[in-house]
């Protein structure tokens, strides 16, 4: 049986859903079994770095820098061997917000390109 739920209360969805689809900017941003999605994403915290320097096989979903520290939400199943990174599990709410924010940023860039043409 399938039931479609739509909610901004992600914590509620985490307790009752086994499959997640994140829609933002009129596109599917993320879809899959919740446990697989959570297992395939990691939160990395370490000294300030350019997100472009992460190893091949990691897809940076979101990046932030504060006080000489970089925090990355990455997608990938490659183990983290760099001791400078602290690896944490990602919660469903953080995962959903990262993909929605990424879609909004991309849509804003696209709109700016269209305006400048």
CB 89 within 8 A of CB 37: no
Q: Per residue of the chain (117 residues), give pLDDT as tens.
A: 677 777 777 777 777 888 988 988 888 999 999 999 999 999 999 999 998 888 888 899 999 999 899 999 999 988 888 898 999 999 999 999 999 998 877 666 555 555 555
Across the beta sheet with 69-75, the strand order is 59-66, 69-75, 41-47, 86-88
Note the pTM of the prediction, 2 decimals.
Answer: 0.81
């Amino acid at each position: 049986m399938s039931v479609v739920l739509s909610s901004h209360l992600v914590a509620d969805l985490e307790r009752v859903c086994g499959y997640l689809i994140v829609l933002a900017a009129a596109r599917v941003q993320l879809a899959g079994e919740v446990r697989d999605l959570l297992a395939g994403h990691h939160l990395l915290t370490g000294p300030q770095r350019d997100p472009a320097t992460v190893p091949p096989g990691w897809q940076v979903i979101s990046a932030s820098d504060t006080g000489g520290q970089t925090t990355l939400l990455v997608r990938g199943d490659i183990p983290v061997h760099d001791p400078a990174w602290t690896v944490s599990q990602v919660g469903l709410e953080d995962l959903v917000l990262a993909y929605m924010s990424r879609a909004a940023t991309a849509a804003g860039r696209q709109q700016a390109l269209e305006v400048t043409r």
